[in-house]
Amino acid sequence: MSLVLFWIFALLMLAFGMGVIVNRNPVASALNLVVSFLGLAALFLSLDAYFIAIIQVLVYAGAIMVLFLFIIMLLDLRAEKRRKINWVALAGGIVVALAFLVQTFSVVGKFRPARETFSPLPRSTIDDVHNVGILLFSNYNLPFQIIGLVVLVATIGVVVLSKRELP
Amino acid sequence: MATLGDYLIVSGMLFTIGFAGVMLRRNIIIILMALELMLNAANLSLVAFSRYHVAPVNGAPNYNAQVFVFFVITVAAAEVAVGLAIVVALYRLRQTTHVEDLRSLKF
């Protein structure tokens, strides 16, 4: 993928990611998150990870976002009222975030492989679903079954949490 | 062509946005969304390294990282489901999703 397309989708993702945390209305935040995830899926496509890109759109933009919107609808949340801003917490958060960003730039700047472009892939690697699937059911068979158990436990936990009678 | 460093920088910026969201926002639902942003930033750098590290024999990307991203996405889905169920239970008990109203565990 050309550099122009990369930066278009990267800036789209970052701008809408910023929109998630600056919007006061939770519904607007959730919709910004959808666009941010679609930009990220385009970046996965540019890295030839077609399976991950499709999973990203299906699971995040499809399932998780619907869950968020359902909960926001269920709780009937309005835009937040303005509250007294805790300036110490605000300054601390901004300083730590900026420190992390500076660290990222300095580490990536010193990392020699970071300046290399990606080598072109041979035509035979286009079916990455096939390759990921083979790996998932051979080397990673036990983790795959454990992750199924995790999802089952999460499902049961959610049902127990929502059914319990509150005092 | 975009370099590996471009992807790592974008991933770091997305992580910073998510981190700032967790630190600065006080609504639990927005905090959960910012957590998702941070998980996705980690996924982006994993996939970038997977694409960078091609196998010498057949030139295929390293699919181990993509399997790992698959696991991360699954765990994130489970985490959001449980987290939102806790938020609903909390809202029924206290009628708020604002973290500064929930200070019974604070010293």
Would you say A19 and A39 are in contact if contact means Cβ atoms under 8 Å apart? no
Instruction: Give CA–CA dist A11/A35, Å, rounded.
Output: 11
| pLDDT tier for residue B54 given thresholds of 50, 70 and 90 | confident
Task: Give pLDDT, residue A24.
Answer: 87
Would you say A162 and B89 are in contact if contact means Cβ atoms under 8 Å apart? yes
Asked whether the predicted pLDDT for residue A1 surpasses 60, the reply is: no
* A92 close to B (CB below 8 A): yes
Asked whether the predicted pLDDT for residue A80 surpasses 70, the reply is: no
Tens-digit pLDDT profile for residues B18-45: 999 999 888 899 999 999 999 999 999 9
Would you say A48 and B51 are in contact if contact means Cβ atoms under 8 Å apart? yes
Give A10's contacts in chain B (Cβ within 8 Å).
6, 10
Q: Which of B11, B63, B106 would best serve as a mutation to test chain A binding (most A beta carbons within 10 A)?
A: B63
Min Cα separation B103/chain A (Å):
15
Closest CA to B89 of A151, A64, A26, A166: A166
Overall average pLDDT of the B65-93 stretch: 92
Asked whether the predicted pLDDT for residue A167 surpasses 70, the reply is: no
Q: Which of A108, A137, A151, A160 would best serve as a mutation to test chain B binding (most B beta carbons within 10 A)?
A: A108
| pLDDT tier for residue A10 given thresholds of 50, 70 and 90 | very high
Q: Mean pLDDT score of chain A, rounded to an integer?
A: 88
Which residue of chain A is at minimal alpha-carbon distance from B32?
Answer: A68
Question: Token pair of A49, please?
Answer: 């990870």
Give B82's contacts in chain A (Cβ within 8 Å).
154, 157-158, 161
Would you say B50 and A128 are in contact if contact means Cβ atoms under 8 Å apart? no
Instruction: Give CA–CA dist A152/A96, Å, rounded.
Output: 37
pLDDT top residue among A140 and A119: A140
Task: Give pLDDT, residue B15.
Answer: 95
pTM, to two decimals? 0.91
Give A38's contacts in chain B (Cβ within 8 Å).
none
Q: Determine whether the interchain pair A20/B21 forms a contact, defined as Cβ–Cβ distance below 8 Å.
A: yes
Task: Give pLDDT, residue A121.
Answer: 79
